[in-house]
Every structure is written in structure tokens, then in C-alpha cells.
Chains A and B, each alone.
Chain A
Amino acid sequence: MAMDRIDKQIELKAPVSRVWRAIKDYREFGEWFGVKFESPFVAGKAARGRITYPGYEHLMLEAVVQKIEPETLFSYTWHPYAIDTKVDYSKETPTLVEFRLEKTATGTLLRVSESGFDKVPSARRDEAFRKNEGGWEQQIKNIEKYVTQNAQAQGR
């Protein structure tokens, strides 16, 4: 069970080179992500852009590009869900987003992870997301699974 990170994976019926371009090229990234970046992605540099997603157009997005390893890995840090214009997110520890690409028989396996949520202040989580009924039940199942797996691992 990972409570401080999000892991996603998706099979894309497109060659690795195509997927890589859609991620590494700031205009293409912006098109599907919903943000209009001002300049190309450069490792170690900040990339800023205005969000184009309906309802969020008043927001700017800022990410600091970390790694660009052609057709393999693209990563950046940012502040997740930074939608309150009154909050200065720059003082908070950002999360790390990684895109990993892998060639498959039918195209590309893309794995996306976002980690470091343990550093997001709980006051922020609280204000943005009040109650979520039913969330706990699932969480307990996760804990049970985690504990059982670990117990088994120790028994080996």
C-alpha cells in the first residue's frame, strides 16, 4: 500500500517515439494536459503556462523539469492541485512526477507516478477536500492487504 504516491499505467497504441513527443514537446504536452506553456522543456529549468482547461483558465501552472532521457524518462516537480490563487504554494515541498516509457508489441506502455505527498501540508488537503464518505472502508482493506502481505514476506 502506498499512501504517499500515485501510480498509473496505460497501454497506448502508438510507437514510443510518438508518445515521447507528446510528453517532451511543450506544445504537445500542453494540448492534452490542458495548459499553454510559454517555452520548451529544459532539464533543471522551470516551465510556466496558463491552464486552458475550462473553468481553470485563471490559473498558472509551474513545473520544474528534472530529467529528460529520450524515449525513456521525463520528470518534473510541481505543486499538485494548486488551485487556490490566495495560497503561495512555492513554500511547500513539491511532488515529483515521472513518465516512464516502454516499448511493447502493440505500442507503448506508459507508467506515470507522482510521489512525495507526505510533504503536502495537511491543512491544504483539509481545505481542498472535505469529507469523502466511504473512503475509509477502502483504506482499511488496503491496510489489511499490506499487513498480510508483509506478514507473509516476513515468514518466508
Chain B
Amino acid sequence: MVFAALGDETRLVLVAKLSQGRPCSIAQLTEGSRLTRQAITKHLKVLEDAGIVHSVHKGRESLFEFDPEPMDELRAYLDRVSAEWDQALGRLKAFVER
């Protein structure tokens, strides 16, 4: 889900904005974008389903907030597999160069 959610440039831009820590309204997120409010709402829904953002209500307005946990988990997993490869390739290097 996280991978799919981030496999889109508009959503990456939204995540980059929200990750600065301040919850944003749809209007704020639409600002400076070529996309319509409807399109942004659709993308936010995908991020929400993946658990990367969630909405909080403030009066009549919905604000969107960033939740780093699913992405941390993903990064941790790839880091782990990546470290395994570094070790394996280090052994391969020693093996072919001896």
C-alpha cells in the first residue's frame, strides 16, 4: 500500500509538504499546484488509505496531517535487505580477488 501510494509524483509532493510538520487544509495543498481541489482530494484519499496521512477536523475545515510510521517501516525493511547485500557482495569480492 505504501509503495503504491508513493508511486505518484503528485502524492510525493503532497507528502513532502505535509512532512514539514504543519497540518494543511485542502486549499493550502492546492495552492501553487496545477491540480484541482477534486484531484488533490483524490490523492489525499490514497495517502490516507495507506496510513501515511490522516485528517483532523478543525471547525468546519478538514486538515491533513502526516504520519511517518508506515514509511519508516518500509525504509527499515529496505535498509535491512540492503545491508544483507552489502555483506554478501563483500564476501563475493574477497572470494574472487583471493
**What is the interface of chain A, defined by CB distance below 8 A to chain B?**
3-4, 6, 8, 10, 12-14, 18-19, 22-23, 28, 31-34, 80-81, 110, 112, 114, 117-118, 120, 122, 125-126, 128-132, 135-136, 138-140, 143-144, 146-147, 150
Measured as residues with beta carbon below 8 angstroms from the partner, the interface class of chain B is 35 or more
Q: From residue B70, how far is it (CB to closest CB) to chain A in Å?
A: 7
Chain B 69-98: CB-based contact to A (< 8 A → 1; otherwise 0): 011111111111110111011011111110
B69 to chain A, nearest CB (A): 8
Chain B interfacial positions (CB closer than 8 Å to A): 1-4, 6-7, 9, 12-13, 15-16, 19, 68, 70-82, 84-86, 88-89, 91-97
Q: Give the number of A-B contacts (CB < 8 Å).
A: 113
CB-based contact A146/B12 at 8 Å: yes
Are A143 and B75 also in contact (CB < 8 A) when A8-B86, A80-B81, A81-B80 are? no
| Cα distance A126–B97 in the bound complex, in angstroms | 38
Whether A136 touches B92, Cβ cut-off 8 Å, given contacts A3-B78, A143-B16, A143-B19, is no
Q: In the complex the two chains form, what is the Cα distance from A32 to B88 in whole Å?
A: 7
The answer to whether A6 and B78 have CB atoms under 8 Å apart is yes
Chain B positions within 8 Å of A147 at CB level = 9, 12-13, 16
Cα A32 to Cα B85 in complex, Å, equals 12
A12 to chain B, nearest CB (A): 6
Q: How far apart sit A150 and B12, CA to CA, in the bound complex (Å)?
A: 11
Can you list 23 A-B pairs, Cβ within 8 angstroms, ordered by A?
A3-B78, A4-B7, A6-B78, A18-B96, A19-B92, A22-B92, A31-B95, A33-B88, A33-B91, A80-B81, A122-B2, A122-B70, A122-B74, A125-B74, A128-B77, A129-B73, A131-B76, A135-B76, A136-B75, A140-B16, A140-B19, A143-B15, A143-B19
